[in-house]
Amino acid sequence: MTTGDKELRILHANPETADLLFAVGSPSTPELAVGTFDGSRSTVQEPLRRLHGIRQAGHTTRAVAIGSGDDIAIFLAVDEGVRSTLIRHHLQSGVSEDMKIPLGVITGPGACYQGTLRFPFSTPHEQATLAAIASTSERKARPRVTSQTRSLIPVRVEKFPAPAGSVEAIVYGAPWHTADRVVIALHGGPESHWRAGYDNSLSLLSSIGTVVAINQRGSTGYGPDHQAAIRHAWGGPDLADIHAIADHIARRRPHSDGRLMIYGASYGAYLAVLAAATHPARWSHCAAIAPFLSGELLHRDGPEAVKQLIDRLGGRTKIHGDGYGPRDLLQVAPGLRARTLLIHGGADPIIPASHSRRLYEQLCKLGQCDELEYIEALGGHSPPYDRSGRPIGGRIVEFFTRPSPAGR
């Protein structure tokens, strides 16, 4: 099966029509094209029909399926921040339309058959399962999923003011204005972002109180400027966003003491400790899973792949002049007052557990945290159990919900 195009890769096929969807050109910036397979000659009829103008700037566009019928349609998933949208692009007219799916993430390719599009779809309440939706314009319908799982916890997307513009967040639970507990959740990466699919850590935290999972500057999913904001500035614009959002929320909780809780894993754990130490009056609890001490020290102690990431993102560059001090957890540790939980897998191949051990030892010497606990767990970067076999998730929930120590 050949065509005249080089760098041609099949993405999807529709056996009802023998139509094929191709990616043409560079793997990093491919064009989409449609061709029809000629079974008698084992070739694709030429020329291919190129699809222009359907990719959206700043967002990732993925081909989901190719439809059938007189008006052939291409189905595309567009990842916009936390969620996926589903686009039907009509090949003959060149018109694209939004198919209006619920909050969630399209997690892989799908297929069209007999007028129905099926694709894997994950929501904040359930892991990826099969969704089905009418594939033609004449059959209007909302997607249905095969699972019957339902959650009583509401989930919504909100935007919060930050120094360089609004920052998007997924909010689990009751309105944060009136909730008893509010947890700010920070993702790892840093080249990552929270998405509106099922996330075990966010589901776990939602049992504690209202969770605000923010995609501060440095997160992927919002275009190159948002992502590049922390190049040569780890703990700079992202930390500023965290403080601004926390202040915004705290000021609008009139019946609270103004303190919030903070949780982070990996790079998010580094930011969580930085935030708690540089604004101690704002935070009552800080849970950090696999934190590193600084970009400089992680570059020294980490594996080669981590060193390369730090070099590429400028993670060793020092930041000056914003009043938050050095971006080294050992140096900002004297500011930490919150009840603090450190968890690290003893066999972590990405961030050595020695970083959490050193931070714990420093905090013990200072003796200024309202409460301090370190768990060196079984496993690697995301340890499932502590050394006694208790689930790490349960230890985190217990930390956030148990009563304050006497006299605190």
DSSP string, 336-396: --SEEEEEEETT-SSS-THHHHHHHHHHHHH--SSEEEEEEEBSSSS--B-TTS-BHHHHH
Q: What interhelical angle do 267-278 and 237-251 show, nearest 10?
A: 60
Residue 352 has pLDDT above 90, yes or no: yes
Higher model confidence: residue 95 or residue 300?
Answer: 300
Residue 141 has pLDDT above 50, yes or no: no
Confidence of residue 50 (pLDDT cuts 50, 70, 90): low
Mean pLDDT of 310-323: 94
Half-sphere exposure of 318 (CA within 13 A, CB side): 6
Taking a C-beta distance cutoff of 8 angstroms, is the pair 19, 68 a contact? yes
pTM: 0.87
Return the pLDDT at 97. 83
Residue 275 has pLDDT above 70, yes or no: yes
Nearest to 3 by CA among 39, 37, 40: 37
Confidence of residue 321 (pLDDT cuts 50, 70, 90): confident
**How do residues 58-94 score in pLDDT, each as one tens digit?**
567 888 888 766 667 888 898 989 999 998 887 777 7
Residue 41 has pLDDT above 50, yes or no: yes
Return the SS3 of 202.
helix
Return the pLDDT at 46. 62
Higher model confidence: residue 90 or residue 310?
Answer: 310
List of residues 6+ apart from 171 with CB closer than 8 A: 155, 156, 157, 158, 210, 211, 212, 213
Count of all residues that appear for the chain in the document: 408
Return the pLDDT at 30. 65
Mean pLDDT of 143-149: 51
Of 31-40, 183-192, 370-379, the one with minimum mean pLDDT is 31-40
Residue 33 has pLDDT above 60, yes or no: yes
Mean pLDDT of 15-39: 64
Return the pLDDT at 70. 60
Q: Residue 231 and residue 311: Cα distance in Å, rounded?
A: 10
Tokens for 325, please give them: 């001090």
Q: What are the backbone angles phi and psi of residue 273, rounded to the nearest 5°?
A: -70, -40
Mean pLDDT of 144-167: 80
First to last CA, the chain: 74
Higher model confidence: residue 64 or residue 217?
Answer: 217
Residue 17 has pLDDT above 80, yes or no: no
Task: Determine whether domain 8-145 maps to CATH 2.60.40.790.
Answer: no
Return the pLDDT at 225. 94
Residues of each domain in the chain carrying CATH 3.40.50.1820: 155-401
Of 15-19, 93-97, 167-171, 266-270, the one with minimum mean pLDDT is 15-19
Return the pLDDT at 111. 86
Taking a C-beta distance cutoff of 8 angstroms, is the pair 13, 21 a contact? yes
Return the pLDDT at 47. 57
CATH superfamily of 155-401: Alpha/Beta hydrolase fold, catalytic domain (3.40.50.1820)
Q: Residue 234 and residue 15: Cα distance in Å, rounded?
A: 50
Residue 35 has pLDDT above 70, yes or no: no
Return the pLDDT at 405. 67
Mean pLDDT of 141-161: 71
Q: Residue 191 and residue 188: Cα distance in Å, rounded?
A: 8
Residue 23 has pLDDT above 80, yes or no: no
Mean pLDDT of 210-218: 98
Mean pLDDT of 311-316: 97
Return the pLDDT at 71. 61
Return the pLDDT at 112. 83
In terms of Cβ atoms closer than 10 Å to its own Cβ (0-12, 13-18, 19+), residue 83 is buried
